[in-house]
Amino acid sequence: MVNHRLIVAAAVLAGAVTLVAPTVWAHAFLDHANPAVGSMVPTAPEAVTMWFTQELEPAFTTATVTDVSGNTVDRGPAQIDPKEPTVLRVALKKLSPGTYTVSWHALSVDTHTTTGHFTFTVGGG
């Protein structure tokens, strides 16, 4: 049974290390977005809203939206919601049917960066 005690002891130690960590950093991952990642929406949205897993640093967090030709269609710059600093929003110009690419660069308040991009389609284009 020594082996079982060793497993438990190691698990407890690992858990304790996790819990007593004095300051934690983490990366801002995209949790979900509206329009949703890879979705098709019937009408043109007025903005793209993204929810992240960490609070964002306003000065160095960006998002751009482009059409299939690479033309910018957002009314940037993207804004972090002052009441909910995990939310990033970028307003859009009036979109025609078609597929659009959202590219984001997030700097969480602990200075870790993450990047990503996704598409959504308007009006079945």
Partner 1 sequence: MAFLSGSLLVNPIPARAVVAAAVIFLSANSAALAHGFAGDRFFPATILTDDPFVASEMSLPTATLNPTQSDGSRELNIGSDLSMLITPNWDFTIGSDWAHIRSPGLPTVTGWTGLTTGTQYQLFINAEHEAMALAALDVTWGNTGRLAAGAPGFTTLSPTFNFGKGFGDLPDSLPWLRPFALTGNLALNFPTLAETQGVPNPNSFFYGFAIEYSIPYLQSQVKDLGIGPPFNRMIPLVEFALTTPFNRGQSRMTTGTVQPGVIWAGEYFQVGAEMIIPTNSLSGHGIGGVVQLHLYLDDLFPHSIGRPISQW
- Residue 122: C-alpha distances to residues 36, 63, 76 (Å): 12, 19, 19
* Other beta carbons less than 10 A from residue 61's beta carbon: 24
Task: Report the residue number, 22 or 94, with the smaller CB distance to partner 1.
Answer: 22
Site for partner 1 in 33-72 (CB under 8 A): 33, 36-39, 53-54, 57, 59-60
Distance of closest approach, residue 67 Cβ to partner 1, in angstroms? 14
Could you say which of 70, 116, 123, 125 contacts partner 1 (CB under 8 A)?
116
Contacts of 59 (CB under 8 A, 6+ apart): 107
| Cα gap 58→116, rounded to integer Å | 17
Please report, as ranges, the residues that interact with partner 1 according to CB under 8 A: 2-3, 6-7, 10-11, 13-14, 17-18, 21-27, 29-33, 36-39, 53-54, 57, 59-60, 107, 110-119
